[in-house]
Amino acid sequence: MIGKSGVTSMPTTPIIIPIIVAGVTLGSLLVSKTQKISKKKLVTASLLGGLLNAAYAYLIYTLFPPTTFTRTGAFTGGGTFGGGGTFTGTFTGGGSFRAAATGGSETTFLASAFITGFLIVLAIVAIALAYARYRGHGSDEETETDQSDLSEEAKLEET
């Protein structure tokens, strides 16, 4: 991932895989006759989304690694700015600066990708089920009313 300054930065957490997993889960739910999902299936789909997202993030991290600094340490006094934006001075000291500058470690990136994938699938499926349940009550009432009207018409036709 190339940043504004032309420097490769840490890739952002991907979200395409969890959206695909949520779509497949909702598609299979819509095809089923019950249109209900157990908590076990919901958690399984969320875990699958998280694991696949972490695997995808690992591929991104290995194919497009974040930049690393070869210099170690901190600036010490006595530096001067030269023409063309150059700085002359000394840079000495620790690796914590490098870790902060790269945006974190691979483990942090993979953990955030897993959590993101898990929560996206969980949220999308839960919201879709809540919406279907909310909309389902209105359509059930309409269906019951239509069926009672049809049965009344059938009784009238028989007499």
DSSP string, 22-76: HHHHHHHHHHSSS----HHHHHHHHHHHHHHHHHHHHHHHHHSPPP--S--SEEE
Q: For the chain, give the mean pLDDT.
A: 75
pLDDT tens digits for range 96-120: 544 554 556 888 889 999 999 999 9
pLDDT for 4: 56
Q: What is the pTM of this model?
A: 0.60
pLDDT per residue as tens digits for the range 39-75: 899 999 999 999 999 999 999 989 888 766 555 455 5
Q: Cα–Cα distance between 101 and 89 in angstroms, integer?
A: 19
List, in order, residues 6 or more apart from 118 with CB less than 8 Å away: 18, 46, 47, 49, 50, 53
Examine the pLDDT at 6 and tell me if it is beyond 70.
no
For 81, phi and psi rounded to 5 degrees?
-90, 130
pLDDT for position 137: 57
